Amino acid sequence: MHFSFHPRPGRRPPPRPPLQPKAPLPPPPSRRYALPMEISLRLRKAADGRLIYGIPLWYRAMTAAILLLVAGAMLSSEGSPGLIAWLIFALLALGLVYEERWTLDPASKTITHRWGFWPLAKASSNDFASIEEFLLKALARGTVPGTKEESLANERAFAMMNHKDADTSMKKSFLKSASRVPYMNLLMKTTDGEIYLVDSIPARRAAKLTLVGQAFADASGREFVRNPPQE
């Protein structure tokens, strides 16, 4: 006898649906961060001959007025003020008591820097004899020191300060770095090599640093060095 055996076909699982590509995750919500408010320092000459470079009176008056308005709104509102209101109040209060002042006194032949929040502000003083020079230098952010990119960034900063950056070739060379805002730094260098930052301003508005640096140098009998990029 001949027997033929045919295996019974098993049940196949139903075909799986094709894998669908995962939908990309939604991008996080964009956030805009407010730029920090820059306090523009002002140079003035006191009646006794001192040169004072610090926060102007109009800034404190404006801050005090806004602080009073915020305080009045908080007191007149129904219920307890929210967290944001308290944060605004605290920032305004800190801005009102913040000190940033350079005082050059020809009588005592000293220059004093006072900074910080009153009444805990700190102060440092240097004799004219310990000052070597005042310098105006460009700040090339995002560049490697000693490279051609840094040299071009310094060139751009000085050109912007002198309002001579309208040259087309210069704008093209900085097309990739248009988002970088060049700054100018006014520095004080001492005879022992210490360097103090007097002020830092965007290059476009930094022409006043030349006046401040020259005034400090003349009053202290020291040299004022503008440090443009090397040709």
Question: What pTM does this model have?
Answer: 0.66
Q: 68 with 89: CB under 8 angstroms?
A: no
220 or 147, which is more confident = 220
DSSP-derived letter for residue 46 is: -
Which residues lie across from 51 on neighbouring strands? Answer: 45, 104
Long-range contacts of 215-218 (CB under 8 A, 24+ apart): 215/43, 215/51, 216/51, 216/53, 216/102, 216/104, 216/111, 216/134, 216/188, 217/133, 217/134
User: What is the per-residue pLDDT across 34-44, written as a single tens digit (0 to 9) for each?
Assistant: 333 467 899 99
pLDDT in the model for residue 205: 82
Between CA 92 and CA 97, with CA 96 as vertex, the angle to 5 degrees is: 125
- CA pair distance 187, 200, nearest whole angstrom: 9
pLDDT in the model for residue 171: 47
pLDDT in the model for residue 97: 86
User: What is the per-residue pLDDT across 99-155, written as a single tens digit (0 to 9) for each?
Assistant: 889 999 999 999 999 988 888 889 899 999 999 999 998 876 666 566 676 677 777
**Alpha helices, H only, 77-206:** 83-97, 148-161, 168-173
Q: 115 with 121: CB under 8 angstroms?
A: yes
Contacting residues for 218 by C-beta, under 8 A, at least 6 apart: 224
Domain range list for the chain? 44-227
**Does position 9 have pLDDT exceeding 80, yes or no?**
no
**Does position 20 have pLDDT exceeding 50, yes or no?**
yes
